[in-house]
């Protein structure tokens, strides 16, 4: 059973122009579902809807098969959200207080808070920054602090908006390790991203938002088999080339939709694989 699911979700900031028009997608334990698509297609909006921070006008979000809105606010501690802009979630005077905030508000004893903050900051390479005010950090460091502030309370579902943006290689690796580790522990991860390397390396499934709906690739393995049997290029490069040669995410999503309808990803992609060679 999926842990988190969007079922025919509609959402618009204004009535006349809905951003999400019947999005359905599911993510189960140990899965990392990547949300891709062009700027403005609604990835961040979908993350906020899945988090229960925006309420769909039609359709619903389910957590463990039950409507999320019926489980709020209690369910919030099961869901960790990393906002696209870390400044939207950092508000404490020091990095330490920021990372400790959720545990303290759950009434965790202070010695346990300290131990867990230290463990999490070490994982993300943030030692040495604990006394600094978050607003004095670089954007990349702020993103790592924001991630630490959710990993520290060990939520079952991680909703991550552009987790690898503005980071150097070490920062990206720290985040990638944290995502992999979370998935290995059976957590459910949904991440919106423009970072094709991160998508290809981390995601177990990629969904592309197009025309307000999600087109989900079968699995990266199926894509690899169907598309690139004879192509020695690494998968991230293949996805990037395909997207660019086909003329963007929308065209790639169309091809996936076609493949899904024909229930033969390899066959439907075979004409495009020639483009990659
Ligand atoms: N608070 C808001 N009020 C009104 N419109 C909004 C608001 N937030 C987003 N939008 C609009 O909704 C649409 C989807 O935006 P969203 O941020 O979800 O896209 P995105 O796919 O995450 O984009 P990006 O890749 O640039 O981060 C855009 O047209 C955007 O202008």
Q: Tell me which residue has tokens 């300290």.
A: 114
Alpha-carbon dihedral of residues 80, 25, 60, 58, nearest 10 degrees?
130
* pLDDT for the residue 202: 87
ipTM above 0.95, yes or no: yes
> Which residue's alpha carbon is nearest to atom 23 within ligand 1?
40
Q: Which residues of the chain have pLDDT under 70?
A: 217-242, 245-246, 256, 259-277
Residues recorded for the chain: 277
The three-class DSSP label of residue 107 is coil
- pLDDT per residue as tens digits for the range 130-142: 999 999 999 999 9
Rounded distance between C-alpha atoms, residue 23 and residue 215, angstroms: 9
* pLDDT for the residue 210: 86
Rounded distance between C-alpha atoms, residue 120 and residue 66, angstroms: 31
* pLDDT for the residue 223: 57
* pLDDT for the residue 103: 95
* pLDDT for the residue 58: 96
- pLDDT per residue as tens digits for the range 163-208: 999 888 888 999 999 999 999 999 999 999 988 888 878 888 888 8
Q: Using the mean position of ligand 1's atoms as its centre, give its distance from the Cα of residue 41 in Å.
A: 7
Q: From the CB of residue 138, how many other CB atoms can be counted at a distance below 10 Å?
A: 12
Task: Choose which residue among 6, 11, 12, 13 to substitute to test ligand 1 binding: the one with the highest number of ligand atoms within 8 A of its C-beta.
Answer: 13
* pLDDT for the residue 259: 62
Rounded distance between C-alpha atoms, residue 20 and residue 233, angstroms: 34
Ligand 1 neighbours, Cβ below 6 Å, are 13, 19, 37, 39-45, 84, 192
Task: Choose which residue among 14, 43, 49 to substitute to test ligand 1 binding: the one with the highest number of ligand atoms within 8 A of its C-beta.
Answer: 43
CA 220 to chain centre: 16
Question: Quick check: 210 and 250 in contact, CB under 8 A?
Answer: yes
Beta strands in 28-145 (DSSP E): 32-36, 58-63, 66-67, 79-82
Rounded distance between C-alpha atoms, residue 122 and residue 29, angstroms: 25
Rounded distance between C-alpha atoms, residue 151 and residue 153, angstroms: 6
* pLDDT for the residue 70: 95
Q: Which class would CATH give 4-216?
A: alpha beta
Task: Choose which residue among 15, 17, 18, 19 to substitute to test ligand 1 binding: the one with the highest number of ligand atoms within 8 A of its C-beta.
Answer: 19
CA separation, residue 86 to residues 34, 38, 133, 148, 168 (Å) = 19, 21, 13, 11, 16
H or E element in which residue 47 lies: helix 43-50
The three-class DSSP label of residue 121 is helix
The domain spans of the chain are 4-216, 217-277
Rounded distance between C-alpha atoms, residue 83 and residue 143, angstroms: 9
Alpha helices in the chain (DSSP H): 43-50, 68-71, 95-105, 110-123, 139-151, 169-184, 196-202, 220-228, 235-246, 249-262, 265-276
Rounded distance between C-alpha atoms, residue 73 and residue 47, angstroms: 17
**Closest-CA residue to 41 (of 253, 272, 265):** 253
């Amino acid at each position: 059973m999926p842990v988190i699911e969007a079922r025919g979700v509609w959402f618009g900031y204004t009535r006349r122009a809905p951003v999400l028009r019947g999005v359905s997608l599911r993510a189960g334990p140990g899965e990392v579902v990547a949300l891709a698509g062009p700027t403005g297609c609604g990835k961040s909006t979908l993350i906020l809807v899945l988090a229960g921070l925006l309420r769909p006008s039609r359709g619903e979000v389910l957590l463990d098969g039950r409507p999320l809105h019926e489980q709020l606010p209690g369910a919030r501690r099961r869901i960790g959200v990393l906002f696209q802009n870390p400044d939207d979630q950092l508000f404490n005077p020091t990095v330490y207080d920021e990372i400790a905030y959720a545990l303290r508000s759950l009434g965790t004893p202070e010695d346990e808070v300290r131990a867990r903050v230290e463990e999490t900051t070490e994982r993300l390479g943030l030692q040495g920054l604990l006394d600094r005010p978050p607003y004095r950090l670089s954007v990349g460091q702020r993103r790592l602090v924001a991630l630490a502030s959710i990993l520290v309370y060990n939520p079952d579902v991680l909703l991550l908006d552009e987790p690898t943006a503005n980071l150097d290689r070490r920062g990206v690796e720290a985040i990638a390790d944290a995502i992999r580790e979370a998935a290995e522990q059976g957590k459910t991860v949904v991440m919106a991203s423009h970072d094709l390397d991160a998508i290809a390396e981390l995601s177990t499934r990629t969904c592309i938002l197009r025309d307000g709906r999600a087109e989900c690739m079968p699995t990266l393995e199926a894509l690899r088999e169907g598309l690139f049997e004879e192509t020695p290029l690494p998968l991230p490069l293949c996805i990037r080339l395909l997207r660019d040669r086909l003329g963007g995410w929308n065209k790639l999503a169309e091809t996936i939709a076609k493949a899904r309808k024909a229930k033969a990803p390899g066959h439907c992609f075979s004409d495009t694989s020639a483009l990659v060679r």
